[in-house]
Amino acid sequence: MGGLFDIPSKEKNIELLESKMNEPNFWDNIEEANKLNKELTLLKKEISTYNTVLNKLSSNKEIAELLELEYNEEFKQELENELNILLEDISKLEIDTLLNGEYDNSDCYLEIHPGAGGTESCDWASMLLRMYQRFCDKNDFKYEIIEEQAGEEAGIKSVTLHIQGPYAYGYLKCERGVHRLVRISPFDSNKRRHTSFASVSVIPEIDQSINIEIKDEDIRIDTYCASGHGGQGVNTTPSAVRITHFPSKIVVTCQNERSQLQNKEQAMKVLKSKLFNLETIKKEQEIAKLKGINTGIDFGSQIRSYVLEPYKMVKDNRSGYETSEADKVLDGDVKPFIESILKMN
């Protein structure tokens, strides 16, 4: 277990971080200070969980030895309960060791876009939005909708969530791709079965100290009045901001803030993160090409199917993990799917 969870390395990192935090000018750069403080808190939490597991292993071993000497039903039940809890703790530690990517501990932006299919796909996109909101609620992630465009009849045409929390990107990066829904359409008077698609993209929120050059002549900034579902007004002044980046053709919109300046700042953060992510993907593709690997870095692959008719099943096409409890998944119980992907890598 010690080899899997490198305690000496983590303890050394804690010492280095604490040393930095004791420097007199540590809080001069608030953003960097908060980042390091967040990293320190996570490391201490991981080591605490590790030590708790070791202590539980030791106490459970003692109970098992007592049972070998003299059988006791009460001790047996206690041991079984403790082992179940221990297995959950070990599983969590295993996931922590897998979330070791460069940006895994970053906050992230999650976007949902319906595929072809009009109202059906827009409604499916809104179902996915609710699923991820419930996932965040259940896993102590904070989120806010920074842009949302309602569908003409139902659902949404697009939505962007800003998600914050420990390993937000590390977990949610597993969700990028195309999600497929099969159900009896609530919009079809003949009650026929329909298939709908929606794409999910996830990018890490980059450290703003990373220099991403955006020339004034390369962008256009438009302002407009934000509107809610059904066209209802959210703000009577043109506070919403849309930024178009011509070289990459990336378009970013932000409308959640009352202030136009705040929306512009948030939109620029998203644009910088998208441009950084775009460059990262290009480099990975170039390296894979040199190695002769056919890389699949894109958002066009169908990753998961959600079947509600004629039976209920959700199946991940990458890991093969599946469950018949489709309603639970759509209510935010996505973690088993995410963990099945992380354990593949």
Q: pLDDT of 308-331, one tens digit each?
A: 998 999 999 999 999 999 999 999
Sheet with strand 250-254: strands edge to edge: 219-224, 240-245, 250-254
Of 83 and 321, the structure prediction assigns the larger pLDDT to 321
pLDDT at 242 over 80: yes
Residue range 101-122: mean pLDDT, rounded: 89
Residue 201 pLDDT grade (very low, low, confident, very high; cuts 50, 70, 90): very high
Residue range 167-192: mean pLDDT, rounded: 89
Residue range 139-152: mean pLDDT, rounded: 92
Residue range 57-83: mean pLDDT, rounded: 79
pLDDT at 73 over 70: yes
Record the pTM.
0.76
The CATH number fitting domain 216-290, selected from 3.40.50.300, 2.70.98.10, 3.20.20.70, 3.30.160.20: 3.30.160.20
On whether the CB atoms of residues 122 and 34 are closer than 8 A, the answer is no
Q: Top-level CATH class of 7-98?
A: mainly alpha
pLDDT at 229 over 80: no
On whether the CB atoms of residues 183 and 121 are closer than 8 A, the answer is no
Q: Where are the domains of the chain?
A: 7-98, 108-203+299-342, 216-290
pLDDT tens column, 11-53: 888 888 888 888 888 888 887 787 788 778 877 877 887 888 8
**Under CATH, what is the fold of the domain 108-203+299-342?**
Alpha-Beta Plaits (3.30.70)
pLDDT at 59 over 70: yes
